[in-house]
Structure 1
Amino acid sequence: MRIIIDRDPYLGRPENANGWTRGLWPAAWIGHPETPTPPSVVAYRQRMMLASAVALRIHVSADERYELFLDGTRIGRGSERGDPHNWFFETYDLALAAGPHVMVALVWSLGSAAPVAQMSVYPGLLVAPQEDKYLPLLATGVAEWEATILSGYHFVDVAATRAYYAVGANVVIDGHAFAWGFERGTGTGWQPARVLDPGVNGETRAEYPPLHLLKPVTLPPMLDQLSPPGNVRIVTAPADGDVALIPLRRDDHLPSEQAAWRAWLHDGQPLTLPPETYRRVVIDLERYVCAYPELVVSGGNDSSIRVHWAEALFCEPEATTKGNRNAVDDHYFLGLGDTFLPDGGTERSFRPLWWRCGRYLELVVTTAAEALTLDRLLVHETRYPLEMESTFASSDPRLEQSVPIMVRALQMCAHETYMDCPYYEQLMYAGDTRLEVLVTYVMTRDDRLPRKALRMFDVSRLPSGLTQSRYPSRITQIIPPFALWWVAMVYDYALWRDDLSFVRSLMPGVRAVLDRFYSLMNSDGLVEAPPGWNFMDWVPEWVRGVPPDGELGVSGVINWQLALVLTQVARLEGWLGEDELATRTSKRAATLAAQLSDRFWDGERGLFADDLQRQHFSEHSQCLALLSGVLDAPHAQRVAAGLLRATDLARTTIYFSHYLLEAYTALGHIDALVDRLQLWFDLPGQGFTTTPEAPEPSRSDCHAWGSHPLYHYFASIIGIRPTTPGFRHVEVRPQLGRLTAVHGTLPHPRGQVEVELRVEHTTLTGEITLPNGVAGNMISGGQTVSLTSGRNIVALSS
């Protein structure tokens, strides 16, 4: 059983009394004696004979990743995604009966063929028992571990295909060369493993070469459960050639075979394909799934089974538009996936090394001289165990109907880190993650993934002081606005969760980000475009998502973003007792706002321009100015009117509309907020089961930054928000607009907040329940009612 510990397991060892040996583990990393060049897959085994039953604890890590087997049964996966200075290890408690046992680890190290988010130091395995008496039994570098190269894997680069992929290579598993039964420690080719460097605690070493600096995992195991099998949509016998160029036409469907394929998929009835058969089958999982697929087959020597995944099918082979996501007929399947080459054996289980995702599976099966039996297809869903603990309902059914799509999108983008999207990149971007974390706060009390995100961005810091735009990542990318959004994430955490000591530990990084932006201020006190990719939003009129003058000039959007974040940091400093820093930061925010009002204000339009020439205007500048907290009342009133009425502003898209919805909330225009959600209300009818990256044509069908309206259902419509650090004081500021009733329950660090409100004639009535030890206010229509712990009955004129 895997458990979580919170410290170096070997702190009490004698080595820790000496500064030069402090932090050394009693086990060493091991590798294959031939040191294979990545991409490589190596199996390690340790055979044991126990005279009596034992209970022991072991700590395990590998570079890049491992699957751990005990007596042929997989007991864990890892290592949790990190970086060389935060290389995570998993901890397992084992109970072994007397007799023979074998522990096996499959370790893959793919180098450039791995997902871009997968970092590495060098390939290897580390297993370390907690107690010294078990070191000779299982410790790598002490016990007699053996290794063998699993040569049945081949890796096919997808970098040159139609889109940018950062999820790793497609995999071909050749059953003829594969070491079947390796997980039980059988087969040939096992050699004594080569001992490498000792394990090293990531916190206490005084000197070290490039090593894995070990830290305990912070997250629970990822979900591992069977997903529903879906439905067989079409079966064809395509012509020779690239099937990606052959549309799926109903006229080509083989209805006489569909029942057998469905029985195989749903009931586990084996399906036998005769020799010299060529079939193409499309399976609709009927929802978005991230999963490890497992295909079990018998016979079929020299056959081929290609299993590709797609989020949706395309209207043309150039893969530019998708249309309704439910559509299969007359569409093209262009996907990613793996190919399995059976060797004719019985019950051969083919599994890729890494998970795949999407809604649709395409099986392209070619048999040779021997019949192939497809025994079963299993789809093992994987993701962070994130579930919807809150509830929401309202008098507008469209709001409630959109909730499952947003929840599913966040689940599919939550793994060992948050991700922008599971299909194309699997990278944790700070701009995306801020919104994903806010949604997490209103869904669950579990904040382990948000804490990890905050910490990983903090340790990604560059010499300039900025955090990297995405991390972990082998490739450094700099999006300066995303460093500011990371700072906003720290502010959000301080409000929504109760751990100011954790917030304090992040403040040096917060100040470093601000110092970088201060260094870019010109003589007018405005920030000139920072070096890097100053992405703000996928606005069609903007090049690569960069606002006007965001490449080389002075961007109003970027400067207003800085003003907003300065206001947040001033509050943070005050909460932490740093009054002088709070005052200084507040003054900087006010000074910057004054300069922006002087240089970017268009008095005729009553709007802030995006550029100094006042040629470009966007919703982005207006909503950031309104949210900054340092805009004077006359400007704010005119900006509010202009934001609501101007029709020629560059519009926020799915991602940045979060900030627009925040502005509508601040202005009290909740009906405008609900009207802006029409894109989300339309998603079910368009066949989406998750939120897309951008308005059509959208590259990604699963981008959790589009889940942010779920946050607003609770924080803006029902109006539940923290007003002091740790959510210790709750403000309920409902804005029902055209709604006549709302009801929601929201997880809170100390329990649960429940709000049920309804409009009756001209009165807003209902009940608000707060956790023990928590007080608050309800504010509506200019009236304020004090709330206490427990049940509160409210009635206010609406």
Structure 2
Amino acid sequence: MSATFDRTWIWHPAFSENQPGTAGLFVHFRRLFTLEKEPPTTLKIHISADTKYKLYVNQHLVSFGPVKGDQNLWFYDEVDIGPFLRKGENHVAVHVLRLFYATQFAPSFPRLASGGLRITVPEDEEEYSEHLHSSTQWESAIDPFASLRVDEPEDVFLHTYEAHRRQHGDVPLEWKAAKVLELKNSTGNTPPWNLSPRLIPPHQVRKACFAEIHNLQSDVPLETWRNALLAGQSKGSRPEVCLAPGSRHQFQLEVTAHTTAFLRIRFLRPSYSGSSIRLSYAESYEDEPDLYEGVRRKAHRRDMTKQLLGPHDFYQLQGRTNFPGPRYFENEELQEIFAPFHYRTFRFIKVDISVEGAGLVFQGIDIDSVHYPLDVQANITSGSQESIVQPLWTTSLRTLVNCMHDCYEDCPFYEQLQYAMDTRSSALFTYCVSGDDRLARQAIIQLYNSFQPRLGLTASRAPSHRQQFIPHFSLYWICLLGDHLEYFDDKIFLTKFIAVVDAILTTFASLIDPQLGLVKWEIRTGIWNYVDWTKEWKPYGCPLVCERTGFSTFTNEIYAYTLQTAAKIATAVKRTAVADEYRQRAEKVAAAVREHCFDGEFFTDSLVSAQADDTLVPYSQHSQVWAVLSGIVQGPGAQELLRKSIRQTNEKKFVQESLAMSFYTLRALSMAGGTVYEDHFHAFWEPWRYQLAMGVTTWIEDSISQRSDCHAWGSAPLYEFVAEVAGVRPAAPGWKAIQVRPRLKLYPELDARVPLRMVNGKTSGIVHVSWAQGTATTDVWVRIKVDMKGAQPVPVHISLPGLEMTLDSDSNSEFLVHRPSQSLPVLTFTRLTSRKCLENNNS
């Protein structure tokens, strides 16, 4: 059998990754060809690159990508370039960012051992293949001026900030015929990139603008800068700003809210090179951080008396040249544009312009916000409480969206990595506001692909160029599967992950101590037993007592909790014997926790026997919350435990959970039953209200280090208002039945719109729940309506105080709730309208 080869990838023939002082390089590709006839209105190509690309057709940015992948799954895009082609000469260009493989730089961006660009044309468009298909007809050139900075103190994840320096004067790009990579694809061999079509929709790109300019240092009047830079300051096209030779200019720009965006900085092309611009990106005004303690010193985010601290891009203008550039933009001979390749995250930008030689004409900065196209279908309004509820809701939405790009991200300013714990929360929030699971499905697959048999764990984050393992995060991944089962019931999708679920749970089972029946911590190189970011557990988020004893109450509680979740998954895919085994294992672990980690009043963070030796705080809110979530304590006992532990936490006697872990405190309050959720609900949001008072527009990562000002695990209000306050959630997997259990005591009036799951990119239904005070001050009107968008009706289980009923989803119901007193004794109802009542024992 003769060998066969894949020849669909091309690369620069002389590219070398042995370049110090940079995380990678930019490579330009171009293809010039002439069409003798009008091009088709639609012409789709497939394109991918390692590491990232931007595709330009006749000076129009058509596409950028690919979605971050790794050696297990590398994505390509299908792009329609037909609308951008024309009869006559055509110029197709690809700007490729290649991050070096054999370095630890830029762990946020996986890449394989060779750079590459792949462009193919489907067989039914073969006449265009000779013009576009990867071949030696493409020319390539390495950018000699640009580097990816590795000297930014706080940038240890991205390394996509750029420095462009014109050290060699008027030097042309050195174009060379691209090299076709021959990659053996026979006798069990494959190319290094395991290609897959894109799994998520293209990003949403929208025009944005600056809102204000601060702290100007310039001989040009403030009003001139405002007219050139701010929205609504000038009619028609914005005026240019003429900058004198030898002048220096500094100003700080603010957008209305935290943003992720592409930037284009435009100048009239100067006569000479040498002038420069530096853009520094920040989320907040702040004082110098305490690097020893690892904390930022932030107060009100708009306190302009403080500094803007953050990474920067540097661009030295090329000026007029005898040699054409890559021709990405229109009018390049007249205009010089700096467009940082990767999107930038900011709320504020500090701009420094240095004019050398001849004068410089500044033409403006364009902003295009970019993120996952989240179609928000949910909405909450609350009448007289709107000023309290809406900031929580809108800030949560903005935070979630800013943390959704190629994947769910922990924070867009720093890591841009998809961690399992963070993703579990973000995916749930996404289901609640849009019913969209496309990014979540991709996350599930990518984390699954990170599984390492030698450890029996999935990586804590994926995809990533540098794997990391946090055992608890493998359990959060299993919980992510359980949530997907609840909201989408896609058993075929989930079945493929069952073997890895079992492997992870077996890894934890192998660590059970035979005498105590508790899972031991594995303390060794390559494993990080992170629990939560708290002041007492700095610097690594681990209780010190657990490191000393080798046992963690939290570990055993979340293991028992996950076993129960895995049992539901196993039952759904008809592995009933496995499900029974998981439940039995959960019960044994729960019994061991009760015996060895409960002192009769509270759960200690480790063994009760170690408590007397512990000079630090022996209790945390975490151990109490997860005791409830895992079912170790239930009913009135759970309610009393949470009431007491919250009181102890508020008095600073217990380790307090972070914003991230607060979501699980809320889940425990809900699970405990009684009135404990309602009793703590309004006070619970005080840390969020404090953030708003400090001028944030997205939720912070944590209140201890105050590092990032945008982290989606703080967007818990999205879930709470939808699933708890409005009370809408699946009553059966995949919304085959709907539960409506509104918490009427929390707000005097509320109007909620809640989407069901998305099918083929469209919402399958909307549930409307509202209530308002009746004519009598003790009465409440409750309205429930389900719009199935053409789908088959499903049962709707309605639960109100003193009333349980089941209706078809094509029924509209309206109730008058008679509330005799504010103490909520047994209520009576008048059902005003309905159709197709299936069951109503109280009507």
TM-score by length of 2: 0.84
Q: Is the 8 A contact 1:765 1:795 kept in 2?
A: yes
Which AA in structure 1 matches 2:246?
Answer: E
Q: Does 1:765 align with 2:781?
A: yes
Q: Which residue of 1 aligns with 2:323?
A: none
Q: Which residue of 2 aligns with 1:539?
A: 534
Provide the C-alpha distance between the structure 1 equivalents of 2:802 and 2:472, rounded to a whole number of angstroms: 36
Q: Secondary structure at the match of 2:285?
A: coil
Give 1:281's aligned amino acid.
Answer: F
Structure 2 match to 1:279: 249
2:803 is aligned with 1:783: yes
What SS class does the counterpart of residue 625 from structure 2 fall into? helix
Q: 2:373 aligns with which of 379, 385, 395?
A: 385
1:683-738 residue CA offsets vs partner (Å, 9 max, x unmatched) = 22211000001125511101111112221111111111213211211212222434
Question: 2-side partners of 1:727 and 1:197: how far apart?
Answer: 49
Q: Deviations over 1:282-314 (max 9, x none)?
A: 111121111111111122631121011100121
State the match for 1:325 in structure 2: 301
CA distance 1:20–1:578, change in 2 (3 Å): farther
Q: Is the contact made by 2:105 and 2:156 (CA closer than 8 Å) also made in structure 1?
A: no
Structure 1 residues 94 and 378: CA distance shift in structure 2, 3 A: closer
Task: After superposition, give the CA deviation of every residue in 1:304-332 in whole Å (9 maximum; x if it has no partner).
Answer: 21011100121237583121001112x12
Q: Size of the alignment, in residue pairs? A: 747
- The aligned runs of 1:337-736 (5 Å cut-off) are 337-345=312-320, 346-394=334-382, 395-397=384-386, 398-463=388-453, 464-523=455-514, 524-531=516-523, 532-543=527-538, 544-551=540-547, 553-603=550-600, 605-612=601-608, 613-614=610-611, 616-631=618-633, 635-636=637-638, 638-646=640-648, 647=651, 648-666=653-671, 667=673, 668=675, 669-695=677-703, 697-736=705-744
Instruction: Measure, in 1, the Cα distance between the counterparts of 2:131 and 2:400.
Output: 39
1:121-140 → structure 2 map (5 Å cutoff)? 121=112, 122-131=114-123, 133-134=126-127, 136-138=129-131, 140=133
1:59–1:333 Cα change, 3 Å: same
- Aligned mate of 1:110, from 96, 99, 103: 99
Does residue 66 of structure 1 match 2:53? yes
Match of residue 52, structure 1, among 22, 28, 37: 37
1:174 pairs with 155, 162, 165, which one?
A: 165
Q: 1:734 to 1:638 in 2, by over 3 A?
A: same
Gap change, CA 1:286 and 1:743, over 3 Å in 2: same
Q: Cα deviation per residue 1:305-361 (whole Å; 9 max; x = unaligned)?
A: 1011100121237583121001112x1221212111113344101111111111001
1:257 aligns with 2:221: yes
Query: Does the CA contact (< 8 Å) of 1:537 and 1:652 recur in 2?
Result: yes
Q: Secondary structure at the match of 1:382?
A: strand
Q: Distance in 2 between matches of 1:653 and 1:277?
A: 48
C-alpha change, 1:609 and 1:117, in structure 2 (3 Å) is: closer
Counterpart CA distance in 1 for 2:170 and 2:741 is 63
Deviation track 1:518-546 (CA, whole Å, cap 9, x = no partner) reads 11111122111134212121111113211
User: Which secondary structure does the structure 1 equivalent of 2:156 belong to?
Assistant: coil
Secondary structure class of the residue paired with 1:510: helix
Matches of 1:635 and 1:780 in 2, distance apart? 24
After superposing the two structures, state which structure 1 stretch, 168-177 or 36-45, moved more: 168-177
Question: Aligned equivalents of 2:169 and 2:632: distance in 1?
Answer: 65
The answer to whether the 8 Å contact 1:154/1:171 transfers is: yes
| Secondary structure of the corresponding residue to residue 45 of structure 1 | strand
Does the Cα contact within 8 Å between 1:47 and 1:103 map onto a contact in 2? yes
Query: Contact conserved, 2:39 with 2:87, CA < 8 A, in 1?
Result: yes
The separation in 2 between residues aligned to 1:348 and 1:175, in whole angstroms, is 14
Q: Which residue of 2 aligns with 1:100?
A: 89
Is 1:740 matched with 2:748? yes
Q: How far has the Cα of 1:19 moved from its partner?
A: 12
Deviates more, 1:301-310 or 1:632-641: 632-641
Following superposition, the deviation at residue 446 of structure 1 comes to 2.2
Kept in 2: contact 1:48–1:101 (CA 8 A): yes
The answer to whether 1:84 aligns with 2:71 is yes
Q: Which residue of 1 aligns with 2:839?
A: none
- 8 Å CA contact 1:693–1:701 kept in 2: the answer is yes
Equivalence for 2:143: 150
State the identity as a percent. Answer: 27
* Distance 1:206-1:285 versus aligned 2 partners, 3 A rule: farther
Shift of the 169–178 alpha-carbon distance from structure 1 to 2, 3 Å rule, reads farther
Residues 323 and 633 (structure 1), Cα distance of their counterparts in 2 relative to 1, 3 Å cut:
closer
Distance 1:168 1:178 in 2: 26
CA shift, 1:741, in A, is 1.8
Which letter maps to 1:260?
A: T
Q: Aligned in 2, Cα 1:130/1:29: closer, same or farther, shift over 3 Å?
A: same
Shift of 1:482: 1.0
Native 8 Å contact 1:441 1:496 kept in 2 = yes
Structure 2 letter corresponding to 1:288: H
Is the 1:152–1:179 Cα contact (8 Å) retained in structure 2?
A: no
Residues in 1 aligned to 2:144 and 2:567: alpha-carbon distance in whole angstroms: 57
Of 78-87 and 134-143, deviating more is 134-143
Q: Deviations over 1:670-691 (max 9, x none)?
A: 2302211111123222110000
Distance 1:375 1:90, change over 3 A: same
Secondary structure at 1:734 match in 2:
coil
> In structure 2, how many angstroms separate the alpha carbons of the residues matched to 1:178 and 1:730?
68
Task: Mark the CA change 1:633 to 1:674 in structure 2 (over 3 Å): closer, same or farther.
Answer: closer
Gaps of 5+ in 2: 321-333, 758-763, 818-825, 828-843
Q: Which moved more, 1:781-790 or 1:516-525?
A: 781-790
What is the CA-CA distance between 1:510 and the residue it aligns to? 1.7
Residue 753 of structure 1 deviates from its aligned partner by 1.2
Distance of 1:430 and 1:235 partners within structure 2: 43
User: How far apart in 2 are the matches of 1:20 and 1:35?
Assistant: 27
Whole-angstrom CA distance in 2 between matches of 1:316 and 1:347: 38
Is contact 1:113-1:168 (8 Å) kept?
A: no
Opposite residue 768 of structure 1, the aligned amino acid is I
CA distance in 2, matches of 1:317, 1:278: 28
Q: How many Å apart are 1:551 and its aligned residue?
A: 3.4
1:20 deviates by 8.2
* Deviation of the 1:387 alpha carbon: 3.9
Q: Deviation at 1:572?
A: 1.5
Q: Could you tell which deviates more after superposition, 471-480 or 220-229?
A: 220-229
Aligned partners of 2:62 and 2:81 also within 8 Å: no
Give ranges in structure 1 of 5+ residues lacking alignment.
1-17, 181-186, 238-253
Map 1:292-311 onto structure 2 (within 5 A).
292-298=262-268, 299=270, 301-311=273-283
The worse-fitting range, judged by mean Cα deviation, of 752-761 and 494-503 is: 752-761
